[in-house]
Structure formats: C-alpha cells, structure tokens
Structure 1
Amino acid sequence: MTEHTILRVVAKLTIPFILLFALYVQFHGEYGPGGGFQAGVIFAAGIILYTLIFGLDEARRVIPPWAVRALISGGVLIYAGTGVACMLLGGDFLDYNVLAHKPAHGQHLGIILVELGVGVTVTGGMIGIFFVFAGRGRRREGTVE
C-alpha cells in the first residue's frame, strides 16, 4: 500500500479519532449505551485499519505479539482482580458496594474497573484474532513449514 498516498494520509488522520472515540465509549459507558466490549471492538478496529493500510509487519512492530497477550491477560486480571478485591473487603465476588464508603461510589468504581477489564481483553482478543488470520500462509523467519 505504499503507492496509495491518499489512503495512508487519511488513515493517519482518522485513526487517532477512532481511538479517541473508543476511549469515550469506554469511560462513558456506564452513563449511556456502550462500555467495555464496544470500546474494545472500536479500539481494535483502529488497529486493524492501521494494519490494512501499513501492512502486517509494521503493525506487529507497533504492537508485538507479547503486547497482544499482555492485553488479553491483563484485562482478565483487572476484571477478576476487581472481584477478588470485593471479596477481600468483606463482600461477595463483584459486590461493588464494599469498594467505597458510600455504596453508590463503590458501584461506580466497580463498573468502571470491570468495563476497563472487558475493554482491554476484547481489544487484545480482536487484534490477536486479526493478526492470526492476516498472517495465514505467510512464512515467518525462524519457522519451519
């Protein structure tokens, strides 16, 4: 895609807005439609657009496989860690009321943390799935076919 200058320029201009919109959906999800899953898919769509325009090798340089695995496992740890923190504070798993002195504040904090965990996991999962499918049939250095 190096010869498609207009696509490259338009992608460079739109990708930051796609990622910013994903953050908006992520952190505004408890007030309206949206949340972790939708934000994760939108964020991954921005990375997938980058991959389609600039190539898989460049995308893997920007987001290496270890980072994709860290996103997936880190998101699960945030989600599960929120539940474990609730249990350690004397509540049930994901009983957000114990996260703050006022139950409403605990509910708000709990929802934000759980949705963040979901968003991070979905982002990593979608990027990982796309990288696997996009790399099918390609020979990588150091691998035996």
Structure 2
Amino acid sequence: MTAAQMYLPQVLSLVALSFLTGLTILVTRALDLARNRRSLSFYEEFDGRGAPPSVLRPTRQLANQFEFPVLFYVLIAFAIAVPLEDPLIATLAWCYVALRWAHALSQVAFNRLYIRTPVFMVGNLVLLAAWLVFAIDALGT
C-alpha cells in the first residue's frame, strides 16, 4: 500500500464533509429566503445579524473546517510526499476525521458546547499526536 492509498480516504472523507456543509448552507439559506420572505440582498451582504441558527450554524461550521483541519491536510500532504506509510498515522487520521464529523454534526444539529468543545479538543489532541508520530518517523529516517 502506498502512502497515498493509506491516507487519501481520510482526506476525501474530510473534503466530503466540507462539501456537504456547503450544501447545507445553500439549503438552509434557500429555505430561510422562502420561509421568511427575505430579499436576496440579505445574503448578498450577509453578516449573520437577523439570521436564524439553522443558517448560522452551518456557516460557522464551514469556517471551522478551514482552521485546524488545515494542519491535517498539510500533515497528510507531507506524509504522502516523504513518503511515509505509518499505520498509526493512518489510524490517528481516521480518528481525527471521525471527530471532525462529530463536531460538525453536533454544531449544526444542536450546538451544545458541553458536547462540541470536548469533541473539538480531543480532535486537536489526536491531530497533535499524529504530527508527533510524523515528526518522529520523518526525522528519525
């Protein structure tokens, strides 16, 4: 198995989450326009004021997907470029992706900080562990 084969499924899963979140934004805004009879100009200069949580949550979630996950994408790009086929990194990558999905679903569905924050923090610790394993593997060879 190549490094790309080992890590690309996790990347594609996280990419799918971003596209699904984008689709959710489109659907929730369309529904909001129809239900609340807002004009398109409301979303042309969208700043979040006056929008319902069903619109704000996926919008904020998409922004979240381009914060810490950027470090995930860089890690995987480096692991493929080196190339480094480490089953531990692959497992940690799957754990990170699962936690990102859980974080996204919890934020969009019900947005309770007592659930979302621990999931977010554990995900970041998993990502840190993956980076440490990568650093040890890559610098040790």
TM class, shorter-length: 0.3 to 0.5
- TM-score relative to the length of structure 1: 0.35
With the length of structure 2 as denominator, give the TM-score of the two structures: 0.36
Higher helix share: 2
Higher relative contact order (CA 8 A, sep 6+): 2
